[in-house]
Chain A
């Protein structure tokens, strides 16, 4: 039986590249694509993939929040997180959320096939730096990084985490309500609770928080003479 893979990235160009990398592998099948975390969770529910490959920086629901939902929805589904950075915080959140593979986008052409193969054999796949971090956590605390909420979201519910992302992306309470199938009043209540719990007084505070905690990713302004550009 073929290994069924769902790919989620907000850039179709990257999805095409990932599909081109994976589809020639014998015994693997790309069963679906999604362009944001919410669509990935929905499609995973319908398609029951064996492996989901998730970009971290996606609109509507980011890859880490989607990983949490997917892990709850189907504990047997194996998740590989694709990211442009392997900072301690992203690593810890990804592993806590239930990811079992961690691949840098810049290394995806080299590592992604190995990562899927590892998960297929019920093993984890981590970058060398992430391996070191996990080992350091094990040695420091006698166990791997702790389960539970990410360190900087101690008081927020998963739903509030979703609302933060949508508000930080510039969506109104009405749009949040529509995307999450809530009443506008409930969305506004979530918004008030978030502002109160985190001690924020403006949406600006919330956006800064969302950027600092990798809930959303922003593109830096372009400067012609010395441009650097993250992968899509």
Chain B
């Protein structure tokens, strides 16, 4: 079954990079992109993706707020944060907001595919620099 993914980041170059990485897997489909939290909420409601790959710091509405709303409006959709913030505090906030996964941008090339794999099976995946966790709970 195809995993449908929405990519959300305010920087087009990062969206290009994420798309390139994700499209390496034939069973995953990047269905659309959004450049801020507000657009992410709208597109998630409309397209009902399986996974939203979400940045934290964005204009109009940040990723944490967008995550909370998407989890309420599209509860079956899983959220994977891909962010600059290599911080346990931010990771806790992201998980509290309802995210299933958390990956640091500087390690995205290493961690993203494993994270999407885990999150697509509703398993948590978190990875800060030097420490990653994926489990089947």
Interface residues, chain A, with chain B CB atoms under 8 Å away: 10-21, 105-106, 108-110, 219, 221-222, 224-232
> Complex: how many Å from CA A110 to CA B93?
33
Assess whether B14 is interfacial by the CB under 8 Å rule. yes
Q: Which residues of A contact B110 (CB under 8 A)?
A: 12
Contact B13 A109 (CB under 8 A): yes
11 A-B contacts, Cβ less than 8 Å apart?
A: A12-B17, A13-B17, A13-B82, A16-B16, A17-B14, A105-B11, A108-B12, A230-B57, A230-B84, A231-B13, A232-B106
Contact A14 B17 (CB under 8 A): yes
Contact B56 A13 (CB under 8 A): no
Contact B14 A232 (CB under 8 A): yes
> Complex: how many Å from CA A229 to CA B19?
20
> Complex: how many Å from CA A16 to CA B84?
16
Taking the closest CB of chain B, its distance from the CB of A22, in whole angstroms, is: 10
Closest A residue by C-beta to B11: A231
- Assign chain B's interface to a size class: 20 to 34
Assess whether B105 is interfacial by the CB under 8 Å rule. yes
Assess whether B85 is interfacial by the CB under 8 Å rule. yes
Contact A13 B62 (CB under 8 A): no
**Beyond A14-B14, A17-B15, 5 extra complex contacts between A and B, CB < 8 Å:** A16-B17, A105-B13, A222-B89, A224-B93, A232-B105
Q: C-beta contact mask, B14-26 vs A, less than 8 Å → 1, else 0?
A: 1111111100000
The 10 closest A-B CB pairs, nearest first, are A229-B57, A17-B17, A109-B12, A12-B109, A17-B16, A16-B17, A17-B13, A13-B17, A222-B90, A224-B93
Q: Which residues of B contact A10 (CB under 8 A)?
A: 106
Taking the closest CB of chain A, its distance from the CB of B67, in whole angstroms, is: 11
Q: How many A-B residue pairs have CB under 8 A?
A: 96
Taking the closest CB of chain B, its distance from the CB of A69, in whole angstroms, is: 24
Contact B105 A13 (CB under 8 A): yes
Contact B57 A108 (CB under 8 A): no
Taking the closest CB of chain A, its distance from the CB of B23, in whole angstroms, is: 10
Contact B14 A20 (CB under 8 A): no
Q: Which residues of A contact B62 (CB under 8 A)?
A: 226-227
Assess whether B64 is interfacial by the CB under 8 Å rule. yes
Contact A219 B84 (CB under 8 A): yes
Q: Which residues of A contact B105 (CB under 8 A)?
A: 11, 13, 232
Q: Which residues of A contact B15 (CB under 8 A)?
A: 17
Q: Which residues of A contact B18 (CB under 8 A)?
A: 13, 17
The residue in B14, B15, B90 that gathers the most chain A C-beta atoms within 10 A of its C-beta is B14
Contact A11 B20 (CB under 8 A): no
Closest B residue by C-beta to A230: B84
Assess whether B87 is interfacial by the CB under 8 Å rule. yes
Assess whether B108 is interfacial by the CB under 8 Å rule. yes
